């Protein structure tokens, strides 16, 4: 989703008409960061300088089996820094909401144009009898423990599913109207955008709607090869002419561009414009060709976010 935002913003935003400004937020836990697909995606996001992407890490050091150091003792913050992320540590593991909000606000406009990783030290099951223990990971606290937790925070243990009018309901009650105002303002911006940039606006709306150009089928080759052709080659023969003309299609390979014959005239890589490669293959965020490197799991996962 962060890739889609970067690409659409670079392709369609114009001075005075920032039609794509959304930010991608991701909540993760200890287990999530041990997944291979997560590290592949984290590595790519840092490489692409994906400002506009923020991970909030619930760092409670507990998984289903027990404490995290059963299987992982790495310094996560230093790893994220090495991958090219801005790292913010929230050390107060209890109630330092102010620092968390500040970090989230700063992440919207990162100083160095990089994605942000907010490492929040927490205690799982805070206030319960099994706080910080693996038992808090999946087991129910029990009636007595829930009652004492409610009493500790000033709740009536006999009441259930209670939402305080102040400050909880007061905080949330105007959010629907705020959201509607943001939608209305964006629609007004889009209407003005259509008047000033009609072709760009039509293309943008087509892509947001997920509609392919009417002529896309005519781009599919109608003549088959006369000799035996491996599928990896025939795939490129079909996809290349479509990718060349249809910018809905963002394609890429895991370090196999020559092997799968995936390249067309004027191919432009999706790439940070600040990266100038040793081999001379450069790009920018308007590019539709993604070089995943040897990261097959991320290559399978990222198109799901693009499609969403």
Instruction: Point out the residues that are catalytic.
Output: 296
Distance CA 287, CA 272 (A): 10
Q: How many CA atoms lie within 13 A of 17 on its CB side?
A: 20
| 77: Cα separation from own chain's centroid | 19
Distance CA 287, CA 66 (A): 44
Distance CA 33, CA 119 (A): 12
SS (H, E, C) the chain: CHHHHHHHHHHHCECCECCCCCCEEEEEECCHHHCHHHHHHHHHHHHCCCCCEEEEEEECCECCCCEHHHCCCCCHHHHHHHCCCEEEEECCCCCCHHHHHHHHHHHHCCCCCCCEEEEEECCCCCCCCCCCCCHHHHCCCCHHHHHHHHHHCCCCCCCCCCCCHHHHHHHHCCHHHHHHHHHHHHHHHHHHHHHHCHHHHHHHHHHHHCCCCHHHHHHCCCCCCCCCCCHHHHHHHHHHHHHHHCCCCCEEECCCCCCCCCCCCCCCEECCCCCCCCCCCCEECCCCEEECCCCHHHHHHHHHHHHC
């Amino acid at each position: 989703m962060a890739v889609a935002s970067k690409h659409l913003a670079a392709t369609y935003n114009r001075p005075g008409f920032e039609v794509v400004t959304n930010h991608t937020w991701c909540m993760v836990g200890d287990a999530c960061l041990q997944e291979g697909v997560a590290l592949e995606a984290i590595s790519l996001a840092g490489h692409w300088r994906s400002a506009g992407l923020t991970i909030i890490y619930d760092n409670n050091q507990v998984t289903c089996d027990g404490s995290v150091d059963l299987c992982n003792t790495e310094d996560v913050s230093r790893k994220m820094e090495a991958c090219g992320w801005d790292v913010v540590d929230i050390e107060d593991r209890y109630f330092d909401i102010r620092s968390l909000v500040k970090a989230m606000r700063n992440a919207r406009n990162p100083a160095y144009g990089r994605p942000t990783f907010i490492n929040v030290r927490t205690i799982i099951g805070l206030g319960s009898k099994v706080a910080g223990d693996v038992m808090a990971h999946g087991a129910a606290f029990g009636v007595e423990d829930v009652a004492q937790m409610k009493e500790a925070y000033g709740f009536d243990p006999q009441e259930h599913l209670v939402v305080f009018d102040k400050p909880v309901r007061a905080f949330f009650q105007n959010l629907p109207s705020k959201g509607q105002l943001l939608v209305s303002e964006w629609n007004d911006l889009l209407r003005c955008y259509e008047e000033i940039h009609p072709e760009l606006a039509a293309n943008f709306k087509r892509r947001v709607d997920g509609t392919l150009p009417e002529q896309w089928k005519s781009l599919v080759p109608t003549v088959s090869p006369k000799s035996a052709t491996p599928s990896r080659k025939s795939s490129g023969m079909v996809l290349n002419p479509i990718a060349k003309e249809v910018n809905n299609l963002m394609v890429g390979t895991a370090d196999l561009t020559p092997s799968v014959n995936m390249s067309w005239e004027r191919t432009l890589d999706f790439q940070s414009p600040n990266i100038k490669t040793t081999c001379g293959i450069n790009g920018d965020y308007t590019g539709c060709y993604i070089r995943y490197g040897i990261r097959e799991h991320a290559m399978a996962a990222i198109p799901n976010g693009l499609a969403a």
